[in-house]
Structures are given as C-alpha cells and as structure tokens.
Structure 1
Amino acid sequence: MTIDSGQLVDWSAFQAARSELGAGFVRILGYFKEDGVKSVAAIEDAMRAGNAAAIVLPAHTLKGESRQFGAEQLAAIAEAIEVIGRQCVETRDAPDQALEHVVKLRPTFEATLAMLEREANPLVERRPAAFGRRAV
C-alpha cells in the first residue's frame, strides 16, 4: 500500500499545536506516539476478535490525538473505524466493515509519526534552498 505523504499532515495545524504547547510539545508528541502504538494494536486486536465495542475507545482516542497534531488523514481513518464500531455496537454486528480502514491504519500511523517526529526534531536543519544553489 502506498501512502501519499503530502496529504498526511496539515502543517499549519501542526505549527499551531507546536506554538500552543510550547516547551511541552516534544513530550506531548511522545505521549501521542505511545498512545498511538497502543491504540493501533488495540484496534487490530479487537478487529481480529470481531469485538466492535473494543474498537470504539482506542479509535476515538487516536482520532482526537491525531487532530491535535494536524494528522488529518490518520484522524479520518480512526474516525471511520470509530463510527463503524459504534454502529456495530448498536446493531450487535461484527465490525467487518471496518476491515478496509483497519488495514490502512498502521501504515498511515507509522508514516505520519515519522513525519511528525522528523519535523519536531530540533537537530534537523530547516533552511530553504537558496535560488540557484543546490541544497546541502
């Protein structure tokens, strides 16, 4: 599966979060990583077990935390899983409809997290290339 990395992060939302969170930004991004790893695993486990109720909370958590950092594509996938999970709980069905989204979830999470961590790394030089010169 290929992921369009150009659509993964809304960089203006990311910068707004970075400004709002200030010195705590990197620490909170670390929490997002930890929580995200747990949420993705919980969603996958619940999907394997056919347990719609167990999908809802980790999908909801991942959706909210993703939006905080501008990870809109990841948030949209988590939201789709959450909505399907809630509908399946109400109708007492297995969450089979969520499979397509669950398959996309881990690679999207990993690609998004890599982009966020790369951008948050204070050691990465962000100087734009000068006109007429090659970027170093």
Structure 2
Amino acid sequence: MFDTEAKIDWDKFAGARGALGSDFVRILGYFREDGEKSIAALEVAMRSGSAVAMILPAHTLKGEARQFGADGVGDLAEFIEGHARDCVERHDQPDQALAAVVKLRPIFHATMDAFGRETNPLVERRVGGFGRKVETANQGFGRL
C-alpha cells in the first residue's frame, strides 16, 4: 500500500533551503525533533487505539514534511490523519492505520538521512554533466 523508501521532492527541498537561508539547518533540526515526537505520539496512540490522539501529531508531521519536500513522510501522515478523522466520526478504532504507522519511522529516518547527506558540507558534490570531472568539497588545504 505504501512505499518503504523515502520519497523526496528535491525542488521543494531546494525551495525551502533558499527561502530559509542561513536558518535552514537549524529549522531542519527542529523538523527532525518534532518529527520524532510526532511519530512517538502516533505509536502510543495506535497502541491505545485512540484515533483522537492520532490527529494532531499526524497533521503536524504532514505539514512540516510537505514544507521540506518529504513527500513519503507527508503521504503517510496524511493517510493516518484522514483515517483517524474518519474513525472519530464513525466512533471506530484506527486499526487500518497500523501499516502506515509502522512504516512511518523508518521512512522518516531514511528521509532525514538523505537530507543530512544533502546538507553535509563535507560530502562530495558532482559538478557539471555526464563525463565531466567530479570535484570534491575537500581537495586539500591551500589548493585551488
């Protein structure tokens, strides 16, 4: 039903990076912290069968994920939120959200790992197109 890999919209990620400027890494760190808290709250709510307790953390995670282009995380959070809202209206248990809640943490971590690789200043970057020399960020002290 859901992908098991991180799905990232790199254009949105770059847009957020450009819009936030020097605050980007700090705010991305807040997303990591808030995401972990939201996922933990969703897992607790799922274990207790509380659809009401699932709505706010899923909604928060969905919005934050979408801002950074973390579409896989956003898709799962959106499904969980929608299902939880439906369950509240029907006075039902959120059992069908179990698969999404279980997949959320590993996809979140895979997404954050990809974001970390993209924002790490020491990671090798490719310059140019196919067949061109690869330049690295760390070519040695004093080299041009």
TM > 0.5 fold call: yes
Structure number with bigger Rg: 2
Q: Is the 8 A contact 2:125 2:134 kept in 1?
A: no
Q: Residue 3 in 1 paired to residue 4 in 2?
A: yes
Equivalent-residue separation in structure 2 for 1:78 and 1:3 (angstroms): 14
- Displacement of 1:97 after TM fit? 1.1
Q: CA RMSD in A?
A: 2.1
Match of residue 95 from structure 2: 96
Match of residue 23 from structure 1: 22
- Displacement of 1:128 after TM fit? 3.7
Equivalent-residue separation in structure 1 for 2:43 and 2:105 (angstroms): 9
- Displacement of 1:103 after TM fit? 1.3
Match of residue 36 from structure 2: 37
Give the TM-score normalised by the residue count of structure 2. 0.85
CA 57–119 in structure 1, closer or farther in 2 if over 3 Å, else same:
same
Q: Is the 8 A contact 2:127 2:134 kept in 1?
A: no
- Displacement of 1:42 after TM fit? 0.4
Higher helix share: 1
Equivalent-residue separation in structure 2 for 1:4 and 1:38 (angstroms): 21
- Displacement of 1:122 after TM fit? 2.1
Match of residue 131 from structure 2: 131
Equivalent-residue separation in structure 2 for 1:58 and 1:66 (angstroms): 12
**Identity between Structure 1 and Structure 2 (%):** 56
Count of residues in Structure 1 that have an aligned counterpart in Structure 2: 134
Any runs of at least 4 consecutive aligned residues in structure 1 with deviations exceeding 4 A, and if so which?
132-136
**What is the SS of the residue equivalent to 1:125?**
coil
Give the TM-score normalised by the residue count of structure 1. 0.90
Structure 2 letter corresponding to 1:131? G
CA 30–50 in structure 1, closer or farther in 2 if over 3 Å, else same:
same
Structure 1 letter corresponding to 2:72? Q
